[in-house]
Structure 1
């Protein structure tokens, strides 16, 4: 009996020690805004349906929640996981994902001195590089996110059935590579996607280069299209000098049977104080196959943090479309706009937890 009690006690100590080395965290972000645009695209006619004023989810950033966990395996090795669901605070539905319940991220990873191996639904290195090079932090209103989603929808953002590797950073350099295994009966190449990126950091300088290639089709169950035939290339650079960060980028989105868009973007972020920043950017999009199709998108925003987790924001912007180009002002509520000039603004509140 004494031996049994001792064994149980030791098991309790061991179990407690293992538990202490593991952690699971609930995290997320909620964003609600009021959006106004002086024009609205009529889906049936393609003309102007008039002005619009609405409550939207994700005026500044996507709303989502998720669970992430880490287990220390010893010797510098860690097991990690993340499952993340996009949500719509306006109506409680799904949003800002591929349309599935945990459609933003769902992956397992091993992380150590060798780098990180990851398997599951994840963001591509190409998308992460474009995001990192955006002067307005990929705001859902008036940023480089508009020409991205307008060209490729969710392809390259949400990658199902993917494996990836991220190298350790060496002499300022870090590499990322991803392969998403597509396939359908009789065609292993359907829906296959791969991407790689290189990032360099030195002092205030950051540079990104990335590539993406994806085949159409496959069997991934994604209600929001994430498997278009799509090639992407990008170069980006940023420089931080005190409270000012300047960023510029070039991105090419080539979508089979659709467009071949070059996007030139750049802008500044100025941290007036740790709690207040202003930022602005301009993005020029041109269809290489039909140069009469082009647009100019410009936006200015400000965000004030009431606390470390809650902020108020205001944004204004305009987009000028020519030919068949239909670049919009907001991912939610105004993804596509009519020919000519459209102006708009939004205000909102954002909370992270």
Structure 2
């Protein structure tokens, strides 16, 4: 009996030591609200919406100390709808993120389904990722700054912080036999933070974006168009390459922060992917967009944040669509984990859109207006755990 008790005591000591060297954290966000839009195909809209300020999610994050400064890390993150309970990201169980890797004093290497460098570096400078909800994202989120899309089959490096400088890159294997470049994704970025100043830049290149980027969920089409979310880009599913160059910065003085972003998005070599039969597809040339955003936020009190922003999108190449967008918002924190928010967005469109028709207003996350103008507002509550 003594031997048995000693064995259990030794086992308990070993288990405690192992637990001290590793950890697993359950975390998540529950965000619920209501949207009003003055024109969706000619009619008013009143709609419940989940994840307006931040997408609903739960996840597991873990680390294990392997000794010598080396750690194993992992993240499994699920997206869902708070109003229906359905899985997001096309029904994938861990559609937001799923990766494992190693970390040391120089940085972290991970493999799995991950965010690209535009999201990691310039994305959080856009107001849609701050206080303006997905309605305030750039039209159609065409530059992915609002993190609509992920990269499957990817290898990613993120550096440690070197006197305020961080950098990294991602490469996603296409996985098509005999066609090494097909469906591949690569990106890189760099960021600098020093005192009140922040600067970021990133590059993203996606081969066959209709399948590798927009169509990388379990319910995606293997032959048809997966780029149906917005008239801003839905006519460009036949593009051979999508390229994004993005930069941004912010400066904080006192309770105020002024920020700006710029992106150039190109859908190159239209008609080169073999996509046929998709309605409204442009099949020659390249579509290009400039996007510039100027934003401002003010911490009126420790609990109340006010924000305003203007965004301008200009198409060129095979289209000449223009989108002017203004956003106002407020975010009130009743605790460090719970806040209430309200935002309003106005968009005006002109020119010819990706489908070859007269451009209509098409605020991100909504269906298009029947006219050149669209107004939307959202009110909601967010809780983090």
Q: Same fold (TM over 0.5)?
A: yes
Equivalent residue for 1:50, pick from 37, 43, 46? 43
Name whichever of 183-192 and 77-86 sits farther off. 183-192
Distance 1:161 1:16, change over 3 A: same
Structure 1 counterpart SS, 2:300: strand
Is the Cα–Cα contact under 8 Å of residues 106 and 120 in structure 1 kept in the other structure? yes
Equivalent residue for 1:281, pick from 309, 328, 332? 309
Equivalent residue for 2:166, pick from 166, 174, 179? 174
User: 1:178-197 alignment to 2 at 5 Å?
Assistant: 178-197=170-189
Mapped to 1, the partners of 2:123 and 2:77 lie a distance apart of 18
User: 1:169-248 alignment to 2 at 5 Å?
Assistant: 169-216=161-208, 217=211, 220-223=216-219, 225=226, 229-248=241-260
Equivalent residue for 2:380, pick from 343, 348, 352? 348
Partner of 1:301: 329
The alignment's C-alpha RMSD in Å is 2.6
The Cα shift of 1:33 comes to 1.1
Name whichever of 242-251 and 163-172 sits farther off. 163-172
Is the Cα–Cα contact under 8 Å of residues 142 and 298 in structure 1 kept in the other structure? no
Is the Cα–Cα contact under 8 Å of residues 98 and 154 in structure 1 kept in the other structure? no
The Cα shift of 1:146 comes to 3.6
Distance 1:76 1:335, change over 3 A: farther
Mapped to 1, the partners of 2:126 and 2:143 lie a distance apart of 17
What whole-Å deviation, never above 9, does each CA across 1:265-313 have from its counterpart, x for those lacking one?
0111111122110111111001121563111111111011112211111
Mapped to 2, the partners of 1:350 and 1:57 lie a distance apart of 10
Superposition TM-score, scaled by structure 2 size? 0.81
Equivalent residue for 2:71, pick from 75, 78, 96? 78
Name whichever of 233-242 and 57-66 sits farther off. 57-66
The Cα shift of 1:330 comes to 4.3
Distance 1:37 1:156, change over 3 A: closer
The Cα shift of 1:250 comes to 0.6
Mapped to 2, the partners of 1:341 and 1:220 lie a distance apart of 32
Is the Cα–Cα contact under 8 Å of residues 141 and 329 in structure 1 kept in the other structure? no
Partner of 2:98: 106
> Structure 2: which 5+ runs fail to align?
221-225, 228-236, 271-281, 354-358
Is the Cα–Cα contact under 8 Å of residues 327 and 346 in structure 2 kept in the other structure? yes
Mapped to 2, the partners of 1:75 and 1:151 lie a distance apart of 40
Is the Cα–Cα contact under 8 Å of residues 123 and 147 in structure 2 kept in the other structure? no
1:93 aligns with 2:106: no
Structure 1 counterpart SS, 2:30: strand
Mapped to 1, the partners of 2:255 and 2:101 lie a distance apart of 35
Partner of 1:25: 25
Is the Cα–Cα contact under 8 Å of residues 142 and 297 in structure 1 kept in the other structure? no
Mapped to 2, the partners of 1:254 and 1:178 lie a distance apart of 19
The Cα shift of 1:31 comes to 1.1
Distance 1:102 1:327, change over 3 A: farther
